[in-house]
Amino acid sequence: MERQEEEKKSRVVKIGSKESWESYISQATNQGSPIVVHFTASWCMPSVAMNPFFEELAYTYQDVLFLAVDVDDVKEVATKYEVKAMPTFLLMKDGAQVDKLVGANPDEIKKRIEGLVQSYQVYLA
């Protein structure tokens, strides 16, 4: 029962198309929000294992837009950002890629998101 409630209030936006991607990136850029993208695949166990952690990060960093892109569903976006392995995490600022992390490394992704958020706070101050 708890699991279902968690899924209902997910803070991670699942991207289903290139148009959806462009819309969210544009909106976040206009609002000055940092973006963290998880490129994933349903068949990739390390990617699937990172999903709950990624969701947790989305709750921790409320001012960051968290997106999940299945590389099989939205190939154009994965190709554009040269995603060759899953999971790949992309950190974006002002609509542009500022960092990329390949592999399931929870501590490192958290550290990099923290750095991204701090760079925004300095930027906004």
Is 95 inside any structural domain?
Answer: yes
CA-based diameter of the chain, in Å? 43
Query: In this structure, which amino acid lies at residue 69?
Result: V
Domain count within the chain: 1
Within a domain: 6: no
d(CA 96, CA 82): 14
Q: Which domain holds residue 36?
A: 13-123
Could you give the percent of the chain with pLDDT greater than 70? 90
- Chain-centroid distance of CA 91 in Å reads 7
And the tokens for 21? 């991607």
Q: What is the pLDDT of residues 31-81, one digit of tens each?
A: 999 999 999 999 999 999 999 999 999 999 999 999 999 999 999 999 999
CA 2 to CA 43: how far, in whole Å? 25
Q: Is 32 inside a domain boundary? A: yes
Q: Quick check: 22 pLDDT over 90?
A: yes
Omega within 30 of 0 (cis) for the link into 87 = yes
Domain at 34, CATH number: 3.40.30.10
**4 part of a folded domain:** no
66 φ, ψ to 5°? -105, 125
